[in-house]
Amino acid sequence: MSTSSGISHQKSLLGLRNRAIAWKVITYFLLITLSVSFVLPFMWMVSTSLKQSQDVFTYPPSFFPNSFEWQNYIKGWNVLPFDTFLNNSLIVTFSNVIGNLISCSLVAYGFARLKGRGRDILFLLLLATLMIPREVTIIPRFLMFSWFGMTNTLWPLVLPAWFGYAFFIFLLRQFFMGIPLDLDNAARIDGANNWQILTQVIIPLSQPALASVAIFAFIGNWSNLLDPLIYLRSTELYTLALGLNLFRGQNFTQFNLLMAVSIITLIPVLLVFFFSQKLFVQGVSLTGMGGR
Amino acid sequence: MARHEEELARELRRRGYSRRDVLRIGLQLGLGAASMGMLLAACGSSEQAAEPAAEPAAEPATESIFDINSGNSGSWPKSSVADPGSKVEISVGHTWDAVFFERQLQFDKLFMERHPNIVVKAENTPWGEFRQKYTAAAAGNALPDLLYTQFSWAQETIRSGMYIALDDYIAKEADFNFDDFTKPSLVSYQYDGKLWGIPYDEGPGNLYYNKDIFDAAGEAYPDDTWDLEKLKQVAIKLTSGEGPNKIFGLGELPSPGDSLMAPNYLFPFGAQYLSEPKEDQCLINTPEGVAAMEWWEELRTKGAVPSPADLQNVAWPAFQFGKIAMTLQGSWATPPIAAGSKFNWDIAKWPKGPKAHTTFSAGSAYMITRDSKNPDAAWIYMNEYLSTAGQTYMWASTGRGSPSRLSAWPAYLGSEFAPPGAKNVEEAMSKGIGTHDIIDQPTGPRVTQAAGPIWDLVVAGQKSVKEALDEVFAAVDPIVAENRG
Amino acid sequence: MAITTPTPPKTTKAKLGGMARKEELAFYLFISPWIIGFLLFDAGAILASLAISFTNWSALSTPSFTGGENYTKLINDSLFYKAMGNSLYYGLGSVGLGTIVSFLLALLLNQDVKGMAVFRTIFYLPSVVSGIAVAILWIMILHQDFGLINSFLAFFGIKGPGWLVQPEWAMPSLILMSLWSAGGAMVIYLAGLQSVPIHLYEAAEIDGADTFQKFWNVTVPMMSPVILYNLIVGFIASIQGFVLVYIMTNGGPANATLVYGLYIYRTAFINFQMGYASALAWVLLVVIILITVIQFAVAKYWVYYEGDVKQ
C-alpha cells in the first residue's frame, strides 16, 4: 500500500517536473520565433545602413549588404549638425520625463485618492483632451505660443510636460487605484498628510507604473516630430526626429544614411528600456504560471 | 516601527518584495522624500531648463559631394535695388533633402560674401511636412521672407494673398531677361495679370529606359522615330517571365488621380481631362477620352504593367529595381535613378501620338511672402538665386536638371551628373513638347482625390473604363463648377 | 482581509462638512498643475478649433463665418461616412486583437527565464523603430509581385492576394501590421502583472485552483484596471492614427484605407480647408466621447479596483 502510494507520489513528482520542463521549452520556442519576427525591421535597418545607395532596393531583398559601408554612419551624422540635434533632443526629452513624472503623479493622486465636486467631469475633460486630433489644434496652439513670443525656441516643447499629460495621468490613476486603502488609512492614523502618503506609500509601490511613464515619455519625446516641426525654424534648434526626416527629400530619399543615423538615435532608447527592466522585475515571477 | 510603516512592510512582503527590498524602502521612508531621489537616479543626469539656443548662421559641411567653387560662373547680376545700408536678416524656406541642402548652404555662403549686409537664414523642412509647417506659419503671420512653392499649390496660395507681386521688381532689372524663361515654367505663378513667383525649375516627363533589358531582348532603344503605338508594342514585347522573375514593359498607366497625366496619355489622342486653362469642365468621358483610356488599358490586360502599389509611395522606386523596361518620370527623377540603379539606363523623349506630341512639364518656384520685413533684400537674393548664374550653380551643374532658364541648360547638359540622353530633356522643353496644361488650379487636389479611388476599381479589375469615366465625370463636375465663376 | 472603504461624512447636497471641504481643497490642489496647463495650453486651442469649424478658413487668409455649413456638408459627405467606418473598423480591429496579443505577450515575458531582459527589449523594438523603416519593410513583405509573403505562397502554388492594393485586403493588412507594434501596450501589461500580489495566487493554489483558474480568477481581475486603460487609450489612439497609413497606402485603394485622421489631415493641409477639417474633428470628438462613456459604464461590471474611492 505504502509502496504504491510512494510510487504514485514519485510519479506525480516526475510528472510535475516534466510539465515544468515542457513549459520551459515551449516558452523558449515561442520567445525565439517571435523574436525573429520582431527583430526583422531592425535587421533591415542595420543592413540598409551598411549598403551603398544602389543596393538598397534589390530583388530579391537581401539582408546582407554586399559591402560594409561603415562610413555611412559618419557621413550621415556629419551631413547635418546631428550633434546639435542630439543635444536639443536630450534637453527636451529629459525635461519632459522629469516634468511628466512629477506633474502626472500629483494629478493622478488627486483623481485616484481624493474626492471633490466635479471630479468625474474633470476626469472626462482630461480624457477629452486626447480625443481631438492634433491636426486641428496645432495651428491655434501655434498662434498662442506666437503670442507668448515662444516660437522658434524650445519652450513649447518643454513647458507642457510640467503640467501633466492625459495619457500618463490616466495610467497612473489606474495603478494608484489598485493600491489598497488600508495603507493610506494606516498612514493617516499616524498623522501623515496627503503629500506624505503620496511619496511614502503610493510612489514606492508604483515603481513599474512610473517606469512605464518614464519610458513612454522618453520615447514619445525622442521621436516626436510634429511639435519641433511646427515651432522650430532655426536648424540649430532642431531635434533628432526632425533632423532625421530631412533625409527624406521630395524625390529622393537617402535610405542608407537615414537608416544609419536612425540606428544611432535608436541606441539610447533601447538602452533606457533595457536598463529600466530592473524597475519592472521584482525578482519573482508573479503570474503563478510556469516555474518560479 | 510606526503602524503605517508596519502595514507597508507587510504589503511589500505580500507583493513578493524580498526582505532586502523592504529594508531598502524602509530606510528610504526614514529619509522622507527620498523616493524622488530614487526616480531621479533612475533617470540619469539632472535636467536643465530649456534655453533658446544662440543662433549662428549655419556653416556648410566640410565633406560634401559638391565642391563649393564648382559651377560658379562668377557672372552674378547686379540688382538695381540697392544693398541695405546696415545688416538685415532674411529667412528662406526650403525643402531640400539633407545632401542637397549642403549645396544651398554653399550658395548662401558665397552670396553673403558678395553682400555683407544681408544675412541669410536657410530653413530646411522635410518635404512630407512642408505644407503643415508653413500653413501654421501663414496663419500666425510668421512666414519667412522667401518661400518655396510647388506648382500644385501655387495658385491656391497666390490667391490667398500670401505673396507680393514681383512685376515692379522685375521691371527695375535691365538684365532680367524675362524671355529666357521657358514658357511653361511661368504658367502656375501668374494670376490676375501679375507674376507672383519665379520658377527655378521646370522639367518635362521623359521616358527612362533600362538598356540592359532592351539588350537582352535584342530591341533597339527608343528614339525620335517612335510613336505611342510603337511604345505599346515594345512594352508588350519586353514583358516576360513569371512571378518573382517577371519583367514589365512599362512602369505605369494613366489614372485620373494623377494631376500630370493628360499631356502624355490623352492629348496625343485628341482627348482631354479638364479644360485648360480654366479647368471648369471635365472632358474625360467624351468618346475620345474613353477611347484613349481603353487604348492604354490594353497594356494592363496584357500584363505589361506592374501593380499600382509602385506608383503610390516614394519608398518603393520600382524602376531602380531593374524589373521595368520603360517608365515615364519627370526630369527630377534623374538623381534617384542615378543613385539607385545598378543597370545601364538612359532617357528618351516621350513618343508622339496620332494627334499631338506632348508631355507634361512641371516645376517649383520661390516667392516673396507678405510677411517679409525686408522685401528689397529678399529681391536681391532672389534675383541672384534664380539668375542664369544662380540656376547654373544650384541645379544645372549639380545635375538636378531642368532649370527654368534656357540659358542655364548648357551647364546642365555639360555637367558630370547629366545622363547621356539629357539632350532629349532639353529638346522637350525647347521644342514645345513639354506643356504645362496640367492640373494646377486650387480645385486640383479635390479633383484627383475624387477621381483616383474610382479608378482604383478599374485597376483592380472591378469596373469597366467607360463606367469609371462616367463616374469620374459625375464626381468631378461639381468640383470644377467652382471655376466657372 | 476585508477591505473597508472610508465612509464619507454625512453632508447636505449644497454644503460640505469641514473635513470634506478640506479634502476637496486638497483635490483641487493636487490636480492644479493639470488645470493650469489645460487653461494655458489646451482650452484656447480646443475652443478655437470649435470656432473655426463654423468658418471656411483656409488658414492662409482671413476666415469668414459660415454658420453650420460645414456640418451640413459633412452629413452629406460620403467620404465622411467612409472614413469614419474605416477608422472604426481599424480601431476596433487593432484594439481588440491588439489587447489579446499584447496581454499574451506580456504573460510570456513575465516568466523567470534567462535573458528575459533581452527578449523584452526585442519584443519592444517594433514600437520604437523608425516608422518609415516599418512601412518600407511591410510594403516589401506585402508587395503583390515582389513581396516575401506572396513569394512564399507561390512556392506552394497559391497566388497570394494583392495585400495592400486590393480594397478588401488593405485594411486587414494594416490591422495585422498594427499588431506587430504591440510592444507599447505589452509594457503596460508587464507593469500591471508585477503588481498582482502573490498571496492571492497562494490562496488560490491552496483552494486547489489550476493554472487556468488562477489566470482567470486572479490575474485577469487584478489586471482589469490596466486592461481598461489600454482599451480606452488604444481606441482613442488608433481611431486617430494615420501616419503609417499615409506612407503605405495614402488612403487607397479606392479609399479602403482612408482613415479619419488622414481625411482630416488631407482636408486641412492639402486642400486648405481648415474650417471643414475642424468640423470633422469635432464630430470625431463626439463619437469618441460617446464610445468612451459607454466603455466606462460597462467597466463597472468587469473592472475591479482594490483601492477604489467612491464619490
CB-nearest partner of B312 from C132, C195, C250: C250
Please tell me the least confidently modeled range out of A31-40, A85-94, A124-133. A31-40
Interface of A with C in 71-100 (CB under 8 A): none
Question: Is the domain A77-280 a CATH 1.10.3720.10 member?
Answer: yes
Helix (H), strand (E) at residue B428: helix B422-430
H/E run at residue B446: helix B444-459
Angle between helices A207-222 and A166-176 (to 10 degrees): 170
Domain housing B332: 204-361+436-484
pLDDT the model gives residue C294: 93
Cα gap C134→C115, rounded to integer Å: 26
Of B15, B156, B161, the CB nearest to C272: B156
Query: Domain count of chain B?
Result: 2
- Is C39 an interface residue toward A (CB < 8 Å)? no
CA angle C119, A218, B128 (to 5 degrees): 100
| Mean residue pLDDT across chain A | 85
Calpha distance A125→A108 (Å, rounded): 14
Residues 6+ apart with CB under 8 A from B187: B277, B436, B440
Q: Note the pLDDT of residue A5.
A: 59
Same domain for B215 and B173? no
C-alpha cell of C76? Answer: 452629406
The string of pLDDT tens digits covering residues A110-137 is 999 998 889 999 999 999 998 888 888 9
**Contact list, B321 vs chain C (CB under 8 Å):** 146
- How far away is chain B from the Cα of C293, in angstroms, using its nearest Cα? 33
pLDDT > 90: percent of chain A: 35
Q: Hey, CA dihedral for B50, B56, B57, B62, is it positive or negative?
A: negative
Q: Which of B309, B442, B453 sits opposite C144 (nearest CB)?
A: B309
- CA distances from residue B388 to A91, B78, B395, B434, C132 in whole angstroms, order as listed: 44, 12, 10, 21, 38
Q: For C117, which DSSP code?
A: H
Q: Do B475 and B441 share a structural domain?
A: yes
**Residue C3 scores a pLDDT above 70:** no
Q: Does A43 touch chain C (CB under 8 A)?
A: no
Q: Given C42, C111, C219, which is nearest A27 (Cβ)?
A: C111
| CB nearest C129 (choices: A167, A184, A266) | A266
Q: Are C101 and C93 in contact (CB under 8 A)?
A: no
The predicted model gives A31-53 an average pLDDT of 85
Facing A199 at nearest CB: one of B35, B144, B340: B35
With an 8 Å Cβ cutoff, are B457 and C132 in contact?
A: no
**8 Å CB contact of C27 and A116:** yes
Residues of B in contact with A80 (CB under 8 A): 61, 98, 101
Q: Are strands B198-210 and B324-330 parallel, antiparallel or unpaired?
A: antiparallel
Chain A residue at shortest CA distance from C108: A27
Which residues of chain B have a pLDDT value below 70? Answer: 1-64, 243-244, 308-317
Query: Quick check: B156 and C268 CB within 8 A?
Result: no
Q: Chain A contact for B20, CB < 8 A?
A: no
d(CA B412, CA B414): 5
Neighbours of chain A (3+ CB pairs under 8 A): B, C
Q: What is the mean pLDDT of residues C123-143?
A: 79
Domain that holds residue C169: 72-299
Residues of B in contact with A237 (CB under 8 A): 52-53, 55
Same domain, residue pair B238 and B379: no
How many contacts, defined by CB atoms under 8 Å, are there between A and B?
Answer: 220
What integer pLDDT is reported at residue B62 of this predicted model? 46
Residues 166-225 of B with CB under 8 A from A: none
* Chain A residues closer than 8 Å to B341 by CB: 54
Amino acid in position C309: V
The confidence score (pLDDT) of residue C298 equals 93
Q: How far is CA C67 from CA A95, B262, C56, C59, C108, in A?
A: 42, 38, 9, 17, 55
Number of domains in chain C: 1
- pLDDT on residue A190: 87
Read off the CATH number of the domain in which B290 is found.
3.40.190.10
B65 is written with which cell numbers?
A: 559631394
| Closest chain C residue to B316, measured at CA | C136
Min Cα distance A233 → chain C (Å) is 19
The answer, for B41 touching chain A at a CB cutoff of 8 Å, is no
Residue of chain C minimizing CA distance to B248: C145
The answer to whether A246 contacts B332, with C-beta atoms less than 8 Å apart, is: no
In the stretch 88-107 of chain B, residues with CB closer than 8 A to chain A read: 91, 95-102
Residue A70 neighbours by CB distance under 10 Å: 11
B126 with B189, same domain: the answer is: yes
Which chain B residues are within 8 Å of C146, Cβ to Cβ? 244, 321, 323
Sequence letter at residue B431: K
- Chain A contact for B288 (CB, 8 A cutoff): no
Structure confidence at residue A290 (pLDDT): 28
C271 and B244 in contact by Cβ < 8 A?
no
Q: Chain B partners of A154 at a C-beta cutoff of 8 Å? A: 50-53
> B377 in a domain, yes or no?
yes
Q: With contacts defined as CB-CB under 8 Å, which chain B residues touch C154?
A: 243-244
Residues of C with CB under 8 A from a CB of B: 58-61, 132, 135-136, 139-140, 143-146, 151, 154, 162, 164-167, 195, 197-199, 247-255, 258, 266, 268-272, 274
Domain boundaries, chain A: 2-55, 77-280
Q: Do B323 and C247 touch (CB under 8 A)?
A: no
Residues 448-467 of B with CB under 8 A from C: 449, 452-454, 456-457, 459-460
Question: Distance (Å) from the C-alpha of residue A234 to the closest C-alpha of chain C?
Answer: 22
Q: What is the DSSP letter of C217?
A: I
CB-based contact B309 C154, cutoff 8 Å? no
| C-alpha cell belonging to residue C203 | 490562496
3-state SS of chain B is CCHHHHHHHHHHHHCCCCHHHHHHHHHHHHHCCHHHHHHHHHHCCCCCCCCCCCCCCCCCCCCCCCCCCCCCCCCCCCCCCCCCCCCEEEEEEECCCHHHHHHHHHHHHHHHHHCCCEEEEEEECCHHHHHHHHHHHHHCCCCCCEEEEEHHHHHHHHHCCCECCCHHHHHHCCCCCHHHECHHHHHHHEECCEECCEEEEEEEEEEEEEHHHHHHHCCCCCCCCCEHHHHHHHHHHHCECCHHHCEEEECCCCCCCCCCCHHHHCHHHCCCCECCCCCCCECCCCHHHHHHHHHHHHHHHCCCCCCCHHHHCCCCCCHHHCCEEEEEEEHHHHHHHHHHCCCCEEEECCCECCCCCCEEEEEEEEEEECCCCCHHHHHHHHHHHCCHHHHHHHHHCCCCCCECEHHHHHHHHHCCCCCCCHHHHHHHHHCCCEECCCCCCCCHHHHHHHHHHHHHHHHCCCCCHHHHHHHHHHHHHHHHHHHHC
Q: What is the model's pLDDT at position B321?
A: 77
- Contact call for A254 and B99, based on CB within 8 A: yes
Q: Is B77 part of a structural domain of the chain?
A: no
Chains in contact with C, where contact requires at least 3 CB pairs less than 8 Å apart: A, B
User: Using the beta-carbon criterion (under 8 Å), do B52 and A187 form an inter-chain contact?
Assistant: no
Instruction: Tell me the ipTM for this assembly.
Output: 0.84
The mean pLDDT of C272-286, rounded to a whole number, is: 94
Is the Cβ pair C281, A244 closer than 8 Å? no
pLDDT of residue A68: 87
Give the range among B51-60, B314-323, C40-49, C299-308 with minimum mean pLDDT.
B51-60
Q: Do both B270 and B177 map to the same domain?
A: no
Shortest Cα–Cα distance, C116 to chain B (Å) = 19
pTM of the model: 0.86
What pLDDT is stored for residue B298 in this prediction?
92
Mean of the pLDDT values across residues C204-212? 85
User: Looking at beta carbons, which residues of chain C come within 8 Å of B135?
Assistant: 59-60, 268-269, 272, 274
Chain B contact set for C60 (CB, 8 A): 135, 138-139, 156-157, 160-162
Of A198-202, A273-277, B196-200, the range with the lowest mean pLDDT is A273-277
Enumerate residues 6+ apart whose C-beta is below 8 A from C28: A110, A116, C35
Q: Tell me what pLDDT residue B52 has.
A: 31
CB contacts, 8 Å: C255 with chain B: 453, 456
CATH value at residue C215: 1.10.3720.10
Q: Residue B459 and residue C253: Cβ atoms within 8 Å?
A: yes
Q: How confident is the model at residue C45 (pLDDT cuts 50, 70, 90)?
A: very high
Q: Same domain, yes or no, for B239 and B97? A: no
Three cell numbers written together for A176:
494608484
Q: Which of B11, B310, B471 to mutate to test the interface with C (most CBs of C within 10 A)?
A: B310
* CB contact B307 to C (< 8 Å): yes
